[in-house]
């Protein structure tokens, strides 16, 4: 702890000297903003358990009037005035893994310091924070599930890799699938994506993304019309190129708030596809709800060509993505190769860099780097660098929890993401550009969904875990 404090003293002195030298502006009653530092816990502290004391100090040229300490973006305890300001935190209330402590100070003139932030790791064995319940056996008996969607009436439609679209109705898995498509399910092929039309209540349209064996083995998006719990009338809307490898198909499909259908497509293990705008592979594609190509996509040289559907590119294997229902923002999870997992902000025309770059290792400033990225191995020291204490191998699942809902306020307005191998759910707090541990899962997660009832649903290969506010 001592070296950490000493390190910050050097930073504390400088603003005071600058203030003393005088700037161009006339001095106000409050002068310069204060400077705050977190003095406990130490940066990158690991395995913090039990009751913890967080401490922060602040200095100001005129006088500190408030010191605030936050954990994971939420204030803990009261605002103090005297340094060191200390608050108590029961770490047993939180999931084990990464948490972020920060402090700031104000002065009499309302000037506010920068945040001083330390990233730490809590220990313990809690599977969700104390304000939540987790039911890992809410639905069991799924066969190699890959993705799910919810209809406005609350049913969950669950894609199984072998081609069945299952229905969960009133917390029960129905025996009869809503539909079955004939698939090739070798490797990562099969039924991979499902979406309900924004006007499902009116038209009954459900969309599926699957590996068809018709003529050649290729991925296809079809639309079905649902009556009751059964779908009929397949309309084959989009046929992607013939596959070579069995992996990197991407898979997720969702409607944007613009009413367009977005389809995430992997590079099919041929990385050069991702930078080739004449290939729909390694891309995020964007279609009208009838499978036709909108005339406002960013790249199009030959009208009607499937390449005109490209909305963003430079992706490797975007198995999952999500649309923020409040803002329309799209976050694209890209499964990495040897080093990094990525969460990318969807931007029309963006190039996310694969295979020229991965994670934060951007080699070209025209590439769009990830919003958040975590590594396949611990940093040195553990917790430092992009991703902090998050370690995983396959980002699989993402959903926005909206501004409203039964979750405690500080758990809303967050992007939840899961890792297939790490078996965890993390929370990306996009307002503060930080990620925190949220939950552990007992099986391999493949998809996440913030449900109409305000619960967070975690789809695993074999079932659905339901996480709800207490």
Structure tokens at 56: 């922060």
Q: Which is nearer to Ca ion, 225 or 362 (CB)?
A: 362
> Cβ 316 to Ca ion, closest distance in Å?
8
Q: Which is nearer to Ca ion, 31 or 193 (CB)?
A: 31
Q: Which is nearer to Ca ion, 62 or 371 (CB)?
A: 62
The answer to whether 267 contacts Ca ion (rule: CB under 5 A) is no
Structure tokens at 367: 């590439």
Task: Candidates 22-30, 319-327, 407-415, 433-441: pick the segment binding Ca ion (CB under 5 A).
Answer: 22-30
> C-alpha angle 138/141/147, rounded to 5°?
80
Q: Which is nearer to Ca ion, 342 or 447 (CB)?
A: 342
The answer to whether 30 contacts Ca ion (rule: CB under 5 A) is yes
Count of residues touching Ca ion (by CB under 5 A): 9
SS3 4: helix
Q: Which is nearer to Ca ion, 31 or 66 (CB)?
A: 31
Residue among 410, 417, 400 nearest 432 (CA): 410
Q: Which is nearer to Ca ion, 35 or 261 (CB)?
A: 35
Q: Report residue 300 CA to chain centroid gap.
A: 30
The answer to whether 341 contacts Ca ion (rule: CB under 5 A) is no
Q: Which of 37, 38, 48, 60 is in the footprint of Ca ion by CB under 5 A?
A: 60
Q: Can you tell me the distance from the alpha carbon of 135 to that of 442, in angstroms, rounded to the nearest whole number?
A: 11
Structure tokens at 212: 């068809």
> Cβ 113 to Ca ion, closest distance in Å?
9
Residues 79-118 as x/- pattern, contact with Ca ion by CB under 5 A: ----------------------------x-----------
Cis, bond preceding 41 (omega within 30 deg of 0): yes
Task: Candidates 59-67, 97-105, 117-125, 198-206: pick the segment binding Ca ion (CB under 5 A).
Answer: 59-67
SS3 247: coil
Q: Can you tell me the distance from the alpha carbon of 233 to that of 238, in angstroms, rounded to the nearest whole number?
A: 15
Neighbours of 385 (CB within 10 A): 15
Count of CA atoms in the C-beta half-sphere (13 A) of 271: 10
Task: Candidates 45-53, 57-65, 324-332, 445-453: pick the segment binding Ca ion (CB under 5 A).
Answer: 57-65
* Cβ 188 vs Cβ 246: under 8 Å: yes
Q: Can you tell me the distance from the alpha carbon of 178 to that of 108, in angstroms, rounded to the nearest whole number?
A: 64
Q: Which is nearer to Ca ion, 64 or 128 (CB)?
A: 64
Task: Candidates 54-62, 82-90, 225-233, 377-385: pick the segment binding Ca ion (CB under 5 A).
Answer: 54-62
> Cβ 343 to Ca ion, closest distance in Å?
10
The burial class, CB within 10 Å (0-12 / 13-18 / 19+), for 313 is buried
Task: Candidates 52-60, 211-219, 253-261, 297-305: pick the segment binding Ca ion (CB under 5 A).
Answer: 52-60
Sequence-ordered list of residues with C-beta below 8 angstroms from that of 236, at least 6 positions apart, any chain: 220, 222
**Cα dihedral across residues 292, 293, 295, 296: positive or negative:** positive
| Region for 427 from its dihedrals, namely left if φ exceeds 0, alpha if ψ lies in -120 to 50, beta otherwise | beta
Site for Ca ion in 132-191 (CB under 5 A): none
Residues 348-377 as x/- pattern, contact with Ca ion by CB under 5 A: ----xx------------------------
Q: Which of 62, 81, 245, 347 is in the footprint of Ca ion by CB under 5 A?
A: 62
Q: Which is nearer to Ca ion, 262 or 340 (CB)?
A: 340
Q: Which is nearer to Ca ion, 139 or 335 (CB)?
A: 335
Q: Which of 15, 31, 193, 388 is in the footprint of Ca ion by CB under 5 A?
A: 31
> Cβ 60 to Ca ion, closest distance in Å?
4
- Strands of 29-96 (E only): list them: 35-40, 51-59, 64-71, 74-75, 85-90
Provide the residue count of the chain: 470
The answer to whether 15 contacts Ca ion (rule: CB under 5 A) is no
Task: Candidates 61-69, 98-106, 223-231, 399-407: pick the segment binding Ca ion (CB under 5 A).
Answer: 61-69
Q: Which is nearer to Ca ion, 310 or 464 (CB)?
A: 310
SS3 354: coil
Q: Which is nearer to Ca ion, 91 or 351 (CB)?
A: 351
Q: Which is nearer to Ca ion, 30 or 440 (CB)?
A: 30
> Cβ 97 to Ca ion, closest distance in Å?
24
Nearest residue relative to Ca ion (C-beta):
107
> Cβ 38 to Ca ion, closest distance in Å?
20
Q: Output Rg (C-alpha) for the chain, integer angstroms.
A: 24
> Cβ 34 to Ca ion, closest distance in Å?
6
> Cβ 346 to Ca ion, closest distance in Å?
13
Cis, bond preceding 84 (omega within 30 deg of 0): yes
SS3 391: strand
The answer to whether 210 contacts Ca ion (rule: CB under 5 A) is no
Backbone angles phi, psi at 309, to 5 degrees: -80, -5
SS3 163: coil
Q: Which residues bind Ca ion (CB under 5 A)?
A: 30-32, 60-62, 107, 352-353
């Amino acid at each position: 702890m001592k070296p950490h404090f000493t390190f910050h003293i050097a930073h504390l002195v400088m603003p005071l000297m600058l203030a003393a030298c005088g700037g161009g502006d006339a001095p106000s009653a409050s002068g310069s903003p204060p400077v705050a530092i977190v003095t406990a816990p130490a940066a990158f502290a690991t395995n913090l358990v039990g009751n913890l004391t967080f401490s922060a100090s602040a200095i100001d040229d005129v006088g500190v009037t408030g010191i605030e300490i936050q954990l994971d973006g939420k204030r803990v305890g009261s605002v103090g005035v005297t340094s060191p300001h200390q608050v108590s935190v029961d770490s047993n209330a939180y999931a084990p893994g990464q948490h972020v402590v920060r402090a700031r100070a104000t002065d009499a003139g309302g000037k506010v310091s920068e945040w001083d932030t330390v990233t730490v790791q809590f220990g313990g064995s809690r599977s969700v924070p104390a304000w939540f319940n987790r039911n890992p056996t809410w639905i069991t008996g799924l066969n190699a599930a890959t993705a799910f969607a919810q209809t406005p009436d609350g049913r969950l439609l669950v894609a199984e890799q072998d081609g069945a679209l299952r229905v969960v109705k009133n917390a029960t898995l129905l025996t009869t699938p809503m539909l079955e498509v004939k698939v090739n399910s070798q490797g990562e092929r099969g039924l991979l994506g499902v979406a309900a039309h924004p006007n499902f209540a009116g038209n009954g349209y459900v969309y599926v993304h699957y590996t068809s064996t018709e003529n050649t083995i290729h991925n296809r998006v079809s639309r079905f019309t649902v009556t009751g719990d059964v779908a009929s009338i397949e309309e084959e809307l989009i046929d992607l190129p013939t596959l070579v490898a069995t992996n990197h198909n991407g898979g997720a499909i969702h409607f944007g708030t613009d009413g367009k259908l977005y389809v995430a497509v992997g590079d099919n293990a041929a990385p050069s596809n991702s930078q080739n705008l004449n290939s729909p592979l390694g891309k995020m594609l964007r279609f009208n709800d009838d499978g036709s190509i909108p005339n406002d996509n960013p790249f199009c040289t030959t009208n009607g060509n499937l390449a005109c559907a490209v909305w963003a590119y430079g992706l490797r294997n975007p198995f999952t993505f999500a649309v923020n229902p409040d803002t329309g923002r799209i976050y694209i999870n890209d499964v990495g190769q040897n080093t990094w997992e990525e969460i990318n902000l969807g931007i029309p025309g963006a190039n996310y860099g694969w295979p020229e770059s991965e994670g934060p290792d951007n080699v070209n400033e025209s590439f769009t780097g990830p919003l958040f990225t975590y590594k396949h191995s611990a940093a040195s020291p553990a917790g430092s660098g992009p991703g902090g204490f998050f370690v995983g191998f396959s980002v699989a699942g993402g959903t926005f929890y909206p501004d409203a809902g039964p979750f405690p306020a500080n758990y809303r307005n967050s992007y939840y993401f899961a890792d297939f191998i790490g078996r965890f759910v993390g929370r990306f707090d996009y307002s503060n550009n930080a990620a925190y541990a949220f939950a552990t899962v007992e099986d391999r997660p493949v998809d996440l969904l913030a449900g109409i009832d305000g619960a967070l649903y975690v789809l695993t290969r074999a079932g659905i875990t339901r996480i709800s506010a207490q």
